[in-house]
A and B are shown apart, each in its own frame.
Chain A
């Protein structure tokens, strides 16, 4: 027999890579480097990043007028009912009914008003409606998992949905994504564009997940975790999670002045 099955890395191998990179990043930060506030673009434990990240440094330029604006989305585009993912079919979806609410702010703490938020997620069994999702968990005929909203005058948003399940993927052997909701956001400038994922507190898969861990600074990645807020829970109906989102800019000099103090 000459053909061998393709061997996938094991979880302990991936976990070791994750820990080694984090230790390097912590040493660099301790030595006075900038804390890494974003995901690393080149993050080998997430195997799909290896051939897809740019190898040249990004070219730093000032945004011009086109980049300082963003498309106008509003009630022509988004119906208010689209923020409720539990009413898109004839019956109620299976799972733990939740709300996810919060505010979208810019880098100065000002509300990001009247901007688009899109979300998508797996159902309570960890299955996406997407046709290439191979996970043999059942589809829920009453759940698609897509929502949209436009932020209010105070930057606020609110979605009604069900808690998504964790799901397996093929990054390595026995790889499982922690439960998450995908978020896509626009600010008032296109440079503020953000696509990210919101996680749920206390997930035992955090330490094992190379996508979550691609943000090597623990404080930075914890900003992706929604918080349980009992005041947002509705009696006999749903549990409340709160997650505030901070977009970059508009182009701020704050970081430089902050560094000047160091």
Chain B
């Protein structure tokens, strides 16, 4: 039974003290904010009491505007031109996070989305979710992953347009509007 040798290393919480280690300068700016195609994807993280979570870390991973998945270095040292598809931002004391990015193109037959990962003190294992966009309802109707989500919970995965080029994607770890989180290791 050689597979016994490759049992996964378990997860542990990111804890409260990652703030000086994981966030980095420019982490939330996947592209320069002055670009005409820049969008803002932002939101607030809430716990089960509706309290905001000031010690969460959010990671974004997404396709480029044309739907291509890039493999380019430079996420830690942004040069202002290279799109790497990756961003990282800690929540503020008010529990807010914010990214400047491009709207991803559709990949394959899925509707466009940003892949979102949530870490926080109290989360013993990170959480995966997806932020879809409100204008893509037609593509979402045939999206395979959304189809696996109970209909009444799908709206938790759709960001809301809250200004020109600005999308709000709140993350509810618990509560009435608990965000849908995914398990990819079936």
Q: Taking the complex as formed, is B158 at the interface, i.e. its CB lies under 8 A from any CB of chain A?
A: no
Is A230 located at the chain interface by the 8 A CB criterion?
Answer: no
Q: How close is B51's CB to chain A, nearest CB, in angstroms? A: 8
Minimum distance in angstroms from A83 CB to a CB of chain B: 14
Contact-size category for B:
35 or more
Does B110 sit within 8 A of A, measured CB to CB?
yes
Encoded as 1 (CB less than 8 Å from any B CB) or 0, chain A from 21 to 64 comes to 00000000000000001111101001011111111101111111
Which one of B6, B19, B59, B121 contacts A105 once the chains associate, using CB atoms below 8 Å?
B6
Q: Is A66 touching B69 in the complex (CB atoms < 8 A)?
A: yes
Measured in the bound complex, the distance between the Cα atoms of B6 and A210 in whole Å is 25
Is residue B186 contacting chain A, with contact meaning CB distance below 8 A? yes
> B28 contacts the other chain (Cβ, under 8 Å)?
no
CB distance B72 to A72 under 8 Å?
Answer: yes
Residue contact B12 to A39, C-beta cutoff 8 Å: yes
Contact string against A for B residues 143-158, beta-carbon threshold 8 Å, 1 for contact and 0 otherwise: 0110011000100000
| Chain B residues with CB under 8 A of A41 | 123-125
Which of B32-40, B161-169, B175-183 interfaces with chain A?
A: B175-183
A 53-84 binary contact with B (CB < 8 Å = 1; else 0): 11110111111111101111111111000000
B19 touching A76, Cβ below 8 Å: no
CB distance from A252 to the nearest CB of B (A): 8
A59 to chain B, nearest CB (A): 5
Closest-by-CB residue of A relative to B16 is: A132
For the complex, what is the distance from the CA of A215 to the CA of B125, rounded to whole Å?
A: 11
Q: Is there an interface contact between A195 and B11, defined as CB atoms closer than 8 Å?
A: yes
Cβ 8 A contact of B174, one of A51, A77, A214: A51
B interface vs A, CB < 8 Å?
1-3, 5-22, 47-49, 51, 53, 59, 61-63, 69-77, 84-86, 107-108, 110, 113, 115, 117, 119-128, 144-145, 148-149, 153, 173-174, 178-186
- 24 A-B contacts (beta carbon < 8 Å): A37-B8, A39-B10, A39-B125, A41-B123, A46-B122, A48-B122, A51-B47, A51-B48, A51-B122, A52-B123, A55-B178, A56-B180, A59-B148, A59-B181, A109-B5, A118-B21, A120-B18, A131-B20, A146-B21, A182-B15, A195-B14, A211-B12, A224-B12, A246-B8
